[in-house]
Amino acid sequence: MTLLLDIISTAAILFIVAAGLLAIFGVLKIINFAHGAWLTVGAYCAVVTTELGLNPWFALPLAFILGALLGGLTERFIVRPLYRRPLDAILATWGLGIVIGQLITLWFGRDVHFTTALMQGTVDVLGTSYSFYRLFAVLAALAIGLGFAFLLDGTRLGLSAQAVIMNEALARALGIDTEKVRLATFMAGAGLAALAGVLLAPMTSVDPNMGVPWLTGAFMLVMVAGTSFGALAVACLLFGAAQVVVSTFLSPILGGITVAVLCAITLRIRPKWFARA
Amino acid sequence: MRDSQKLRLFLLVGLAVVALLLVVFGPAVLGRFSLNVLTRSMIYAMLALTVDLLWGYTGILTFGQAAFFGVGAYATAMVLMHIGASPSLLLLAFVAAIIVPVVLGLIVGWLSFYHGSTPLYATVISLVVPIVMTQIVFSGGVWTGSSSGLVGYDVLPLGLTGFFRLTGFCLLVLAVLAIVFVRSDAGRLLVAIRDNEARVAYLGINPARVKILLTATLAGVAGLAGFLYANASGVVAPENTGFVFGTEIVVWTALGGRGTIIGPVLGAIGIDYLSASLSGDLPFLWQLVIGGLFVVMIIVLPGGLASLVTRHFPRGKGQQSLKAMPTTADANGTDRREDVFVSIENLGKSYGSLAVLKGINLDIRPGELVSIVGPNGAGKTTMMRCLSDGTEPIEGTVTINGHNIAGLAPEGVVSLGVGRKFQVASIFDTMTVAECLRMARLRHVTPSFTRSETEIALPGPAAEILQLTGIAEIMDRPVSLLSHGQRQALELAMVVALEPKLILLDEPTAGLTKAERTTIGTVLKTLTAKLGFAAILVEHDLDFVRDISSRIVVLHHGKLVLDGTVEDVIHSEIVRTIYSGGAHV
């Protein structure tokens, strides 16, 4: 039972982290390597609210707004000139990640920080007591997934975004302001990354380089999932399950690379498997 | 031209001599700290060189060189630590430090490159490899020293100055080899792959194989750097093999100047040396500056610092001269004209539920010029694709020269004697005319790895196309400066230079002037009627088709509705209805 709950909550956490990256990749066709840095920014928002003694929930909106603002600036000044050079965009956003990481280090130092949990205690699930917070993460993942589904299908912006995903040239010809769609998507993606950082903070320790391992994992998942949130959810569940199983029964160190290795193999053998899901 | 080339050569030799003097006499003037750091920096510069060859020249963005470096370093340290450090074991360590990364490189290359793989996928793999390697090191227990690494093994008895000179010498040799290679005819193939991988495949060269070989070779070089590092520093740590280190190498390469050899070398040495000197005083600020500089550089100066210098030295190419090889009249053999060269049986092709081609049957013999006509969307270009790429899923069979092409990648189909000219001229945009033509000859002429030839011998018909269109006069011109018509003619010449037996042409005259059309028409007629080539032509211009074809095939809604002589088709009622827009046959 614990194993099952572990699998579900691990998948949920992977989904939360990867969602922002997927949104940006789907619309902009660009891999945002600053994703890890924004995650870190979000986690430090949680640190700041803790240090100021504010209500820890306050970190959520703070992180989203800060992430979206930074994302907006990044889109305008770094990503926009590089739309035609996707590999260079990876590098430039990675460079930005270095800059943000060093700024955080200059401000907060290299030390590891801890934050107060948003909620504590355990809860009984069918006879197994389980961390309440990890279950909350599952709810958060569901909320994010459903939120995106609603945004894409229920709003004008989402419809435009879908049009851009499918055929950008045509969308532009039909009078959709694709630049605005890109900007909005990038801001949402960055905000989401920061939000993920806040949610992650109580589960791990917070340090200036905490984003890097999450970035690589999320990147692999997004590559496998393509541009669909449904596929991402499936991929997170499958590979998350594999990770938990390997960590539990073999070794936690091998568990850490399970997602990356499985994703690489999946891409080599059946690149389109998940995209169809 | 000649003078600028001499000047470049002179500058390069001068630079090499200066570098040699620095390596030999450096220890006399440099302090302990500088020697130590510079030895490390020069090892890193070797890595930057390998990243540059992969990324700057061939277009493969890789973070994986760190893994090969780490594997080489760990192989060395593990032999020396756990087995011993006698001279023969040092030799064993040296061999292992190169062989193991090469084998790993072959595996990584096989994973990364295959027909239809994307550049992003190769980058993904290059990201996974160092991550996996680091975790393996972490879980290696006593064998790898886990997170603390390996330290305290015996190394080559060279001392500080000895290691400085050894690494300096290795770097210098490597840089000279790299410079000679990238300027050679074989080295230009890397740039061709970066510019236009599809065209490389359709010239009959397997780009995936070239990339795999390159990856394996450069993995070996990275392993050598790892061997030097493990000896010179006396310690190996998990960070040496990690993904973050892999990105650092890319940063040095980018700042120094990708696509040049000297840029990344100086970039790596300069940044690493400055990092070591400055990091004591302002560690995080320095990283911040490097990161910021990197972002700005990628956006506004993608060529790196070296492009500030190279833009004052335009690529001085020697005068290239064209030589026509003697044509053996009717090289393809008149006696075999009755043999069917291409046989298409019941060919069908669908995209999802949309059937683009249905039940096509067609035989083509040497010496025939078959034109495929039909309105837009009739499936003409799709048919060309099915004939030239056996990996396209189709129904029915396509047999070329007696071989079923199912499953053959474009380069395999080319080796059966098929040349394909695309609708939009597909050539190598950063090369000169002569370089493009040389790439087209690589299948027949083994290129030199050390020299760039000044004469280029082409089969007679290819040379004739160049002469008729005046391109023969401008062999040294970059193709980016060619007109639309010249680009089309150049691609046709490249395809003919492959010495194919069948040429596929997709609207070769679109956008050409009347005069250019006539020239191309004449050339095609000579190729087929006189020299025995077979040709399939997709064309909209019915007048042109009437003038040159020996046979016309009409496609409509994916079906073959008419197959006959020019006379048959021109006077056919069906064709008139189709083109006036009515018929649903």
Query: Cβ contacts of residue B86 below 8 Å, gap of 6+?
Result: none
Q: Are B525 and B414 found together in one domain?
A: yes
Mapped onto helix, strand or coil, the DSSP state of residue B231 is helix
Q: Are B180 and B212 found together in one domain?
A: yes
- Averaged in consecutive runs of 10 residues, what is the pLDDT profile of chain A (277 residues)? 84 89 86 91 89 83 92 91 87 91 86 73 72 81 83 78 80 82 89 90 83 86 83 88 87 82 82 54
Establish if A95 touches chain B: CB-CB under 8 angstroms.
yes
Establish if A250 touches chain B: CB-CB under 8 angstroms.
no
CATH of the domain at B550: 3.40.50.300
Give the number of beta-carbon pairs within 8 Å between A and B.
98
How many C-beta neighbours within 10 Å does residue A242 have?
17
Residue B306 domain-assigned (yes or no)? yes
Rounded Cα–Cα distance for residues B211 and B117 (Å): 12
Neighboring chain B residues of A92 at a CB cutoff of 8 Å = 294-295, 298-299
Residue B292 domain-assigned (yes or no)? yes
pLDDT at B316 over 70: no
User: pLDDT value at position B249?
Assistant: 94
Could you tell me if B342 and B372 are in contact, meaning their C-beta atoms sit under 8 angstroms apart?
no
Neighboring chain A residues of B125 at a CB cutoff of 8 Å = 264
Domains and CATH numbers, chain A: 2-110+130-276 (1.10.3470)
Q: Are B527 and B572 found together in one domain?
A: yes
H-run or E-run covering B422? none
Share of chain B above pLDDT 70, in %: 94
H-run or E-run covering A153? helix A132-154
Shortest Cα distance from B476 to chain A (angstroms)? 28
CB contact under 8 A, B124 and A223: yes
Cα distances from B8 to residues B21, B91, B173, B243, B376, in angstroms, run 20, 39, 19, 37, 52
Q: Are B63 and B133 found together in one domain?
A: yes
Neighboring chain A residues of B291 at a CB cutoff of 8 Å = 95-99, 101-102
CB contact under 8 A, A251 and B288: no
Mean pLDDT confidence for B178-200: 91
Rounded Cα–Cα distance for residues A121 and A134 (Å): 10
User: pLDDT value at position B582?
Assistant: 55
Find which of A79, A102, A219, A222 to mutate to test the B interface (most B CBs within 10 Å of its CB).
A102
Rounded Cα–Cα distance for residues B348 and A125 (Å): 57
Rounded Cα–Cα distance for residues A15 and A23 (Å): 12
Q: Which of B6-15, B120-129, B387-396 has the lowest mean pLDDT?
A: B6-15
Signed CA dihedral, A122, A123, A125, A127: sign only: positive
Establish if A252 touches chain B: CB-CB under 8 angstroms.
no
Q: How many domains does the structure of chain B reveal?
A: 2
Q: Are B111 and B191 found together in one domain?
A: yes
Shortest Cα distance from A81 to chain B (angstroms)? 7
The string of DSSP codes covering B293-321 is HHHHHHHH-TT-THHHHHTTS----PPPE
Nearest to B536 by CA among B544, B460, B528: B528
Final residue of a domain: which of B275, B310, B345?
B310
List pLDDT tens digits, range B63-98.
999 999 999 999 999 999 998 888 899 999 999 999
- Give the structural domain span for B540: 334-426+460-580
User: pLDDT value at position B41?
Assistant: 95
Q: Are B208 and B289 found together in one domain?
A: yes
CB contact under 8 A, A253 and B135: yes
* Of B466 and A157, more confident: B466
Candidates B128, B291, B298; nearest CB to A260: B128
Neighboring chain B residues of A260 at a CB cutoff of 8 Å = 127-128, 131-132
Q: Are B279 and B244 found together in one domain?
A: yes
User: pLDDT value at position B585?
Assistant: 45
List pLDDT tens digits, range B207-261.
999 999 999 999 999 999 999 999 999 899 998 898 889 999 999 999 999 989 9
Rounded Cα–Cα distance for residues B128 and B64 (Å): 8
H-run or E-run covering B562? strand B559-564
Rounded Cα–Cα distance for residues A114 and A206 (Å): 6
Q: Are B297 and B347 found together in one domain?
A: no
Q: Are B10 and B92 found together in one domain?
A: yes
List pLDDT tens digits, range B271-304.
999 888 887 777 678 888 888 989 998 888 888 8
CATH of the domain at B285: 1.10.3470
Shortest Cα distance from B203 to chain A (angstroms)? 25
Query: Cβ contacts of residue B358 below 8 Å, gap of 6+?
Result: B348, B558, B559
Establish if A103 touches chain B: CB-CB under 8 angstroms.
yes
Find which of B284, B289, B391 to mutate to test the A interface (most A CBs within 10 Å of its CB).
B284
Mean pLDDT confidence for B555-574: 83
CB contact under 8 A, B132 and A267: no
Residue B472 domain-assigned (yes or no)? yes
Shortest Cα distance from A201 to chain B (angstroms)? 22
User: pLDDT value at position B269?
Assistant: 94
Residue B548 domain-assigned (yes or no)? yes
CB contact under 8 A, A102 and B119: no
CB contact under 8 A, A253 and B139: yes
Neighboring chain A residues of B294 at a CB cutoff of 8 Å = 91-92, 95, 98
Neighboring chain B residues of A264 at a CB cutoff of 8 Å = 111, 124-125, 128
Band (B158; pLDDT cuts 50, 70, 90): confident
Shortest Cα distance from A14 to chain B (angstroms)? 17
Rounded Cα–Cα distance for residues B494 and B421 (Å): 9
Q: Using beta carbons and an 8 Å cutoff, which residues of B are at the interface with A?
A: 61, 111, 114, 119-121, 123-125, 127-128, 131-132, 135, 138-139, 243-244, 247, 250-251, 254, 284-285, 287-288, 290-292, 294-295, 298-299, 302
Find which of A32, A76, A84, A91 to mutate to test the B interface (most B CBs within 10 Å of its CB).
A91
pLDDT at B426 over 80: yes
* Of B469 and A126, more confident: B469
Mapped onto helix, strand or coil, the DSSP state of residue B257 is coil
How many C-beta neighbours within 10 Å does residue A124 have?
8
Residue B65 domain-assigned (yes or no)? yes
User: pLDDT value at position A272?
Assistant: 62
State the average pLDDT for chain B.
Answer: 86
Neighboring chain B residues of A81 at a CB cutoff of 8 Å = 299
Write out residues 189-248 of A within 8 Å (CB-CB) of B.
Answer: 212, 216, 219-220, 223
DSSP A75: I
Residue B320 domain-assigned (yes or no)? no
User: pLDDT value at position B327?
Assistant: 60
CB contact under 8 A, A260 and B138: no
Shortest Cα distance from B244 to chain A (angstroms)? 9
Neighboring chain A residues of B139 at a CB cutoff of 8 Å = 251, 253-254
User: pLDDT value at position B305?
Assistant: 85
Residue B329 domain-assigned (yes or no)? no
User: pLDDT value at position A136?
Assistant: 82
pLDDT at B2 over 70: no
Query: Cβ contacts of residue B412 below 8 Å, gap of 6+?
Result: B390, B405
pLDDT at B404 over 80: yes
The string of DSSP codes covering A214-274 is HHHHHHHHHHHHTT-HHHHHHHHHHHHHHHHHHHHHT-HHHHHHHHHHHHHHHHHH-TTHH
Q: Are B18 and B89 found together in one domain?
A: yes
Nearest to B214 by CA among B105, B299, B112: B105
Residue of B nearest to A108 (CA): B284
Q: Are B352 and B294 found together in one domain?
A: no
Band (B584; pLDDT cuts 50, 70, 90): low
Write out residues 53-92 of A within 8 Å (CB-CB) of B.
Answer: 78, 81-82, 85-88, 90-92
Nearest to B179 by CA among B421, B21, B41, B16: B16
Neighboring chain B residues of A256 at a CB cutoff of 8 Å = 135
Mean pLDDT confidence for B347-351: 86
Candidates B114, B132, B298; nearest CB to A95: B298
Establish if A155 touches chain B: CB-CB under 8 angstroms.
no
User: pLDDT value at position B4?
Assistant: 63
Q: Are B265 and B374 found together in one domain?
A: no
CB contact under 8 A, A216 and B288: no
Please give the ipTM for the structure prediction: 0.85
Mean pLDDT confidence for B503-511: 85
pLDDT at B50 over 90: yes
Residue B315 domain-assigned (yes or no)? no
Could you tell me if A260 and B135 are in contact, meaning their C-beta atoms sit under 8 angstroms apart?
no
